[in-house]
Amino acid sequence: MPGLKVNGQTHDIEGLEGQPLLFVLRNDLKLNGPKFGCGLAQCGACTVLVDGQPVRSCVTTAGSVVDQEITTLEGLGSIDRPSRLQQAFIDEQAMQCGYCINGVIMRAKALLDQTPRPSEGEVRLALDGNLCRCGAHNRMVRAVLRAAGEA
């Protein structure tokens, strides 16, 4: 049985080869951070990290990431102990409906891991592929810069 490594735990799940990673995360592992948005890798709501790189889980097959480290929003922190990045989003009130926020935070996490002190332009470029219909973009950028400043 292939092992899917998610948030530090290995899960043995049958039939991973053709299934979208998003469906395995949500349906089999009951992780609700990644969202189904467009199903075409265009909106970013389904973004997770695979070996530290942002990946659109709606178009990535689970079988293609076996034995790689997958991190979802749930792997960053909890309600009781949010990560520094998650807390910055809370402090900046950087979401409204919350649907896009999973992908935005996961992209921001990848950015901060590679560039701990990004410029505003670097943050905007990193988040450019994530769609938000509520228009909270400026607060999201401030949240990422806040998290970077607290590193």
Give residue 47's pLDDT.
98
For residue 33, the enclosing domain spans 3-75
Residue 135: CB partners within 8 Å, gap ≥ 6? 96
The number of distinct structural domains making up the chain is: 2
Domain with residue 62: its CATH number is 3.10.20.30
Question: Same domain, yes or no, for 67 and 118?
Answer: no
User: Do 63 and 107 fall into the same domain?
Assistant: no
Give the whole-angstrom CA distance, residue 51 versus residue 69: 5
User: Residue 83: its pLDDT value, please?
Assistant: 97
Tell me: do 142 and 90 sit in the same domain: yes
Same domain, 14 and 65: yes
In contact, 37 and 43? CB cutoff 8 Å: yes
- Kindly state the tokens that stand for 124: 């905007």
Domain shared by 29 and 89, yes or no = no
Q: Is 40 helix (H, G, I), strand (E, B) or coil?
A: coil
CA–CA dist 144, 47 (Å, integer): 17
Beta bridge partners of 20: 61
b/e sequence 80-115, b meaning 16+ C-beta within 10 Å: eeebebbbbbeebebbeeebbbbbbbbbbbbbbeee
The CATH number of whichever domain residue 132 belongs to comes to 1.10.150.120
Question: What pLDDT is stored for residue 151 in this prediction?
Answer: 59
pTM recorded for the entire structure = 0.94
pLDDT at 80: 96
Q: How many helices (H) and strands (E) does the chain have?
A: 5, 5
Of 15, 48, 75, which residue is a domain's last? 75
pLDDT at 13 (0 to 100): 86
pLDDT of residue 135: 86
Question: Along the chain (151 residues), what's the average pLDDT of each consecutive run of 10 residues?
Answer: 87 88 96 95 97 98 95 97 97 92 97 98 96 92 95 59
